[in-house]
């Protein structure tokens, strides 16, 4: 586990880098939210991060998240960032306020039904697999993306907020930036297609190795694990 001091040191460096990237792209800190990805890390590390002022956390496995979330303060905001299996849908709205990994209309419909049952809203991002790696989840095709967006727009409880992507980690700066720039363009195209300025505003992109480029290409949510908590447990 990481001590309070280690996490605080990591955060100081991270926040300095974030400020620099925001500066370079002429944006302000209100236009960016940091999601601290606590997967594999124990409760004690999350508590240390909370003591350092973090309030937004991301988990990618439902089973693991369900053992941690109830033991932490209610004031935290939880983002589900992994592939959501259909048999785990019922746990999502009761534990999470956001899901970044919507990858089908069917998943949208299952979640909407569950949210309606429990009267809990859920903010949703569609995951786009721009590097087309078969190991990753997400929508690949523009037409499919439009279909999922349309389904989301018809929901009462699911609130469509934008798009998410994961860049290929070893691809190098040019390709990674291209991935992020493409997500930005697809967001702009969707806004044109559906005329919905308000719904599709968020871009969840950038992890520990590439958040600087993501911020410069327009990220509004960055998902940072190891740069805060150290190597995964």
Q: Which is nearer to ligand PLP, 105 or 226 (CB)?
A: 226
Question: Binding residue for ligand PLP (CB under 6 A) from 105, 150, 208, 230?
Answer: 208
- Which 19-48 residues touch ligand PLP, going by CB under 6 A? 37, 39
Told to check if 223 binds ligand PLP by CB under 6 A, we report: yes
Q: Is 30 helix (H, G, I), strand (E, B) or coil?
A: helix
- The nearest distance, CB 157 to ligand PLP, in angstroms, is 23
Closest separation in Å from C-beta 27 to ligand PLP: 21
Stretch that binds ligand PLP, among 3-11, 62-70, 182-190, 207-215 (CB under 6 A): 207-215
Which of positions 145-164 make contact with ligand PLP (CB under 6 A)? none
CB of 206 to ligand PLP, least distance (A): 8
Looking at residue 135, what DSSP letter applies?
Answer: T
DSSP alpha helix (H) spans, the chain: 4-24, 43-51, 62-68, 92-95, 105-118, 142-153, 173-194, 211-216, 226-229
The reply on whether position 79 binds ligand PLP by CB under 6 A is no
Tokens of 136: 């990753």
Tokens of 109: 């419909």
Structure tokens at 45: 């590390």
Q: Measured between alpha carbons, how far is 27 from 130 in angstroms, rounded to an integer?
A: 25
Query: Is the distance from CB of 39 to CB of 64 less than 8 angstroms?
Result: yes
Q: Is 179 in the site for ligand PLP (CB under 6 A)?
A: no
Residues at the interface with ligand PLP (CB under 6 A): 37, 39, 60, 81-82, 166, 207-209, 223-227
């Amino acid at each position: 586990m990481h001590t309070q001091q280690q996490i605080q040191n990591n955060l100081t460096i991270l926040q300095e880098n974030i400020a620099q990237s925001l500066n370079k792209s002429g944006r302000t800190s209100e236009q960016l939210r940091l999601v601290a990805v606590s997967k594999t890390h124990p409760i004690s590390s999350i508590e240390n991060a909370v003591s350092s002022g973090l309030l937004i956390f991301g988990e990618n496995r439902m089973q693991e998240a369900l053992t941690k979330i109830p033991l932490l303060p209610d004031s935290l905001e939880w983002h589900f960032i992994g592939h959501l299996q259909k048999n785990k849908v019922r746990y999502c709205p009761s534990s999470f306020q956001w899901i970044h990994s919507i990858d089908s209309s069917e998943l949208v419909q299952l979640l909407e039904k569950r949210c309606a049952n429990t009267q809990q809203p859920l903010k949703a991002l569609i995951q786009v697999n721009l590097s087309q790696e078969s190991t990753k989840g997400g929508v690949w095709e523009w037409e499919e993306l439009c279909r999922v967006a349309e389904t989301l727009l018809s929901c009462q409880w699911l609130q469509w907020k934008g798009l998410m992507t994961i860049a290929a980690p070893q691809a190098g700066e040019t390709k990674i930036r291209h991935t992020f720039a493409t997500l930005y363009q697809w967001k702009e195209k969707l806004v044109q297609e559906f005329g919905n300025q308000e719904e599709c505003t968020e871009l969840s992109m950038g992890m520990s190795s590439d958040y600087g480029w993501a911020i410069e290409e327009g990220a509004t949510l960055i998902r940072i694990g190891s740069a805060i908590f150290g190597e995964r447990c």
